[in-house]
Amino acid sequence: MIGSKLFYFTIFAVVCVSLSQPVRVGGPRELQGNDLREAIDNLDAVLAKLATGDGPSYRAVKVTKVTVQVVAGSLHTYTVELDKSGASKQCTVEIWSQAWLDRTSTTIKCEGDDMATTW
């Protein structure tokens, strides 16, 4: 009796572990749901702020993927289609925030560009 309960419990545990998403401490994780919406809102705010200063005037047309990684702050990496004056490009945007220092760094690298640009 106890042997069969142990057997079924072991099977249940193996199934639960195999179905769970692997978690890598310090590794990037893809955002979904409310976290994704908040990240897209943050991207729009950062792009608007860049447009008012010395940065480019980009607008996010389509966000394909957003990941976040904790690295001495939080690094959000966006795979996004950006529009600049009617011309769209596929780009990678990285926003590295260190809230305790009130510091944000933004890097944009688009297809066809030789170098990434950081603000």
E strand residue ranges, the chain: 29-30, 59-70, 74-84, 87-98, 103-110, 117-118
Residue 20 lies in a domain: no
Question: Alpha-carbon distance 62 to 94, whole Å?
Answer: 16
Is the pLDDT score of 35 beyond 60? yes
Residue-level pLDDT at 112: 87
Domain count, the chain: 1
Tell me if 33 is assigned to some domain. yes
Beta bridge mates, 96: 75, 105
Mean pLDDT of 82-108: 93
Q: Is residue 1 part of a domain?
A: no
**Residue range of the domain that includes 93:** 25-118
Structure tokens at 73: 């702050």
In the chain, what is the straight-line distance between the N-terminal and C-terminal CA atoms, in Å? 67
Q: What is the CATH number of the domain that holds 37?
A: 3.10.450.10
Does residue 15 form part of some domain?
no
* pLDDT at residue 41 is higher than 60: yes
Flag whether 5 is in a domain: no
pLDDT, greater one: 4 or 85: 85
Does the pLDDT value for residue 78 go beyond 90?
A: yes
Nearest Cα neighbor of 76 from 64, 66, 65, 88 is 66
In a domain, 10, yes or no: no
pLDDT at 26: 73
> How many whole angstroms separate alpha carbon 32 and alpha carbon 65?
9
> In sequence order, which residues have a C-beta less than 8 Å from that of residue 95 and are 6 or more positions away?
42, 43, 46, 75, 76, 78, 104, 105, 106
pTM exceeds 0.95: no
Q: Quick check: is 46 in a domain? A: yes
- Judge whether 55 lies within some domain: yes
Least confident of 21-25, 83-87, 112-116: 21-25
Phi-psi region of 57 (alpha: psi -120 to 50; beta: other; left: phi over 0): beta
State the Cα–Cα distance between residues 66 and 74, nearest whole angstrom.
12
